[in-house]
Structure 1
């Protein structure tokens, strides 16, 4: 019998709820049922978090990776020892916590590219803290793409029966429309089609969401559908990709409609994430498509307002670990 895959879990912002959901996830679900989990983070922070939660989780630091060292009765931490509990204030933004969170990601990607781990699951980071630390990225997705030299990449959210891929991600709404181009839409369609093989769906049924109300109403409410979306869709259809649309977004995401598709391509962040989080908030999973490594993440942020209070829900992290353990990296 083959050993379970090793999945690295980056600890996220140490001042947020990342350490807490890792401890709770290990306790409540025992990640070891799906994989051999390895936390990339700081041993002291995790031990302090366990004490504050009143748990007796056995946590041990390691400096090398070997399948023989994993055990269901202890949580292993690849200890970077890059921050101390006294360096941060739980629930507060700081450059120190942003720097530590970035370094966990760097190590996780390094291990995944070297095939030391099957993939990585990222606990939440704070984008402001990341920028204070000197890493001007809008989020995990863009940082991971640079670290892995990925040229074509996209964010997918999975929740309930929905899989949704975004054409644009973290942008002010006023900047979305200029980014909805023929090339960007076609690139996202091709990437989505190819990436669905990682979910064992080689011929997916793809729905394309419209950008404008009523799918533009023949150009009365916007021309992006006629000028960009439809030409990109028709070009993809010529290559055998099973995509239809563009469908008005106000009806596409209802279950009776969305269940007819394996994946939906949305134009912008809130268009795609609102239906996912309505369907499965706290259990949804973020997946980065187009990377040469498996990467999943939680559907929430650092939640500074509840950090350190024992209130965080590990549900999304549990689902992210399960998915990472069974996903295949591109090319599939």
Structure 2
């Protein structure tokens, strides 16, 4: 048995700062020592990242018979002439999708204990695959599951969960149901307990201004959110709400809540990025393995400059390692015993790309 998890790190959008971030994060000694690493991408993109970061991090090509701590799985699939730094493209989106897909399938196959990825650009992803909506839908398709996981934004101070995610604001109110709320509260509780936060306190944000103000500004808070919170409390979850969304984070930062459950994407994202933009991690829970990435985007405006801050990427990689250890207290199978099938999966990924 090994005391280190094996994490599949998929390189994200090649036109953004992801290659640079991966180099810088794995150059951090504490991060590197926390796990074994299988980096998935195109070797030419990795070399570009080394140039951008001003740091050489030589990883051997993946060989299942001689894997030792870290390796690079080269899909050699990037259309280099069609990828321009700082610009979204179909070629860039296709590369990121192929990397992520393989990392997910490796984890589903048991070869990896967790998946991490550097930032994606959703416009590029949709150019690469018009059916792409968001990471949750892609994960379900890649690993062949009907389970809908959920994204959590994680800071040391507070977690953020949400009932709806990547949907138009005009559709949010119609998607707020007691069933969805109870499912979100339950998954938040289970995921945080899995991360070592016992019996977390969850503050549920209201949907409307002043949480509806008794029906003056909408009825969803009184008619849907409040009953769902009551039912969750009856199930012994530590939950309170609906709480006006303009004060719920103030209360959380004072220690009243470990997590805030918001009704829609930006209701929580704005607050979390103001609190800790360079430290935030997006954690995807609800699947047999953890998935983590920095909470910020591809930063096309500084791509290639060498200025990318790896703080959130380091946090994401370390969180995935820590959660994997907690999920597997008895240790991990040796890498050599579970990497034999990687080449076959990689070959199919190359063919698909």
TM-score by length of 2: 0.86
Bigger mean CA offset, 82-91 vs 205-214? 82-91
Query: SS at 2:77's partner residue?
Result: coil
- Structure 1 distance, partners of 2:207, 2:98, is 37
- Residues 140 and 256 from structure 1, CA distance in 2 versus in 1: closer, same or farther, beyond 3 angstroms? closer
Aligned to 2:233: 237
Deviations 1:67-123 (A, max 9, x none): x6224xxx5211111115334111122111111110111110111111211101111
- Structure 2 distance, partners of 1:330, 1:29, is 21
Deviations 1:251-306 (A, max 9, x none): 11015655122221111111111121111111100011212221011111111221
- Structure 2 distance, partners of 1:230, 1:137, is 34
- 8 Å CA contact 1:43–1:60 kept in 2: the answer is no
Query: SS at 2:88's partner residue?
Result: coil
- Residues 193 and 76 from structure 1, CA distance in 2 versus in 1: closer, same or farther, beyond 3 angstroms? same
Aligned to 2:212: 216
Unaligned runs of 5+ in 1: none
- Residues 172 and 330 from structure 1, CA distance in 2 versus in 1: closer, same or farther, beyond 3 angstroms? farther
- The 5 Å alignment of 1:29-40 reads 29=29, 31-40=31-40
**Aligned mate of 1:96, from 85, 91, 104:** 91
- Structure 2 distance, partners of 1:256, 1:304, is 32
Where does structure 1 differ by over 6 angstroms across 4 or more consecutive aligned residues? 329-332
Bigger mean CA offset, 32-41 vs 160-169? 32-41
- Structure 2 distance, partners of 1:58, 1:132, is 32
- 8 Å CA contact 1:61–1:79 kept in 2: the answer is yes
- 8 Å CA contact 1:91–1:305 kept in 2: the answer is yes
2:85 matches 1:83: no
The alpha carbon displacement at 1:37 in A equals 2.1
Query: SS at 2:300's partner residue?
Result: coil
2:259 matches 1:263: yes
The alpha carbon displacement at 1:235 in A equals 1.5
Aligned to 2:342: none
- Residues 220 and 329 from structure 1, CA distance in 2 versus in 1: closer, same or farther, beyond 3 angstroms? farther
- Structure 1 distance, partners of 2:263, 2:113, is 31
- Structure 2 distance, partners of 1:256, 1:109, is 33
Query: SS at 1:91's partner residue?
Result: coil
Aligned to 1:291: 287
- The 5 Å alignment of 1:1-332 reads 2-29=2-29, 31-64=31-64, 69-71=67-69, 76-148=71-143, 149-254=145-250, 258-328=254-324
Query: SS at 1:144's partner residue?
Result: helix
The alpha carbon displacement at 1:15 in A equals 1.4
TM-score by length of 1: 0.91
- 8 Å CA contact 2:252–2:258 kept in 1: the answer is no
- 8 Å CA contact 2:8–2:103 kept in 1: the answer is yes
The alpha carbon displacement at 1:328 in A equals 4.4
Bigger mean CA offset, 29-38 vs 179-188? 29-38
- Structure 2 distance, partners of 1:291, 1:330, is 15
- Structure 2 distance, partners of 1:280, 1:23, is 22
- 8 Å CA contact 2:163–2:261 kept in 1: the answer is yes
Query: SS at 1:292's partner residue?
Result: coil
RMSD, aligned α-carbons = 2.2
Bigger mean CA offset, 214-223 vs 186-195? 186-195
Deviations 1:139-182 (A, max 9, x none): 22321133331423221101230101011112222221111122
